[in-house]
C-alpha cells in the first residue's frame, strides 16, 4: 500500500514521503521508522537455542481471527445452554447456531493449522525437534478439524 504525505522536509511544507508498508491502513498516522537494533540477550540466555523464529507471512484471516472467533463463541454458548436446558439436538435454535458457527470455526481452525504448519517449517532449520513437535500439532489439529466437521453434520442432519 502506498501513501504520500505532504508535510515538508521532516516538517517543512511541500515535502512528500512514500509509505510502502502493508500494515498501514487509511486513517493511521505515518510514523518515522527507527533503525532495527540487534537483540541484546541477557547473560543468562547466551549460548541457549533460540526461543522463537520470526513469522514470515501472516495467514489470510489473521486480522479477522478474533472477530470471527467471538461469533463462534456466542453461538456455541447459546447452543450449549439450550442443550443444557433440555432442548433436543434437532432443535431449530441449536441448528441455526451450528449453521452459523460451524463454517466460521472450520475456517478459523484451518487458518490456525496453516500458521502451525508454517511455524513447523520455519523451525526445521533452527531446531528440528521443535519443528517436528509442531508438525505433530498439525496432525492433531487436522484430526480435530475432521471431528468438528463430523459433529456439525450430525447436528445439522438430526
Give me the residue label for grid cell 502506498. Answer: 2
What b/e string do you get for 36-70 counting C-beta neighbours within 10 Å, with b at 16 or more? eeeeeeeeeeeeeeeeebeeeeebebeeebeebbe
State the pLDDT at residue 37: 77
Whole-number percent of the chain with pLDDT over 90? 55
Residues 6+ apart with CB under 8 A from 62: 111, 115
What's the CA gap between 147 and 151, in Å, rounded?
6
Which three cell numbers mark 59? Answer: 495467514
Whether residue 106 is predicted with pLDDT greater than 70 in this model: the reply is yes
Which pTM was predicted? 0.66
Amino acid at each position: 500500500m502506498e501513501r504520500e504525505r505532504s508535510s515538508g522536509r521532516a516538517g517543512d511544507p511541500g515535502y512528500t514521503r512514500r509509505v510502502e508498508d502493508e500494515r498501514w491502513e487509511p486513517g493511521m498516522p505515518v510514523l518515522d521508522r527507527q533503525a532495527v537494533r540487534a537483540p541484546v540477550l541477557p547473560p543468562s540466555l547466551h549460548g541457549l537455542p533460540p526461543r522463537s523464529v520470526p513469522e514470515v507471512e501472516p495467514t489470510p484471516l489473521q486480522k479477522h481471527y478474533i472477530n470471527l472467533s467471538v461469533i463462534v463463541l456466542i453461538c456455541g454458548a447459546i447452543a450449549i445452554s439450550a442443550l443444557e436446558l433440555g432442548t433436543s439436538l434437532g432443535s431449530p435454535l441449536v441448528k441455526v447456531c451450528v449453521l452459523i458457527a460451524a463454517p466460521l470455526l472450520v475456517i478459523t481452525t484451518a487458518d490456525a493449522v496453516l500458521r502451525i504448519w508454517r511455524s513447523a517449517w520455519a523451525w526445521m532449520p533452527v531446531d528440528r525437534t521443535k519443528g517436528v513437535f509442531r508438525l505433530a500439532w498439525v496432525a492433531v489439529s487436522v484430526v480435530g478439524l475432521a471431528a468438528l466437521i463430523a459433529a456439525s453434520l450430525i447436528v445439522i442432519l438430526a
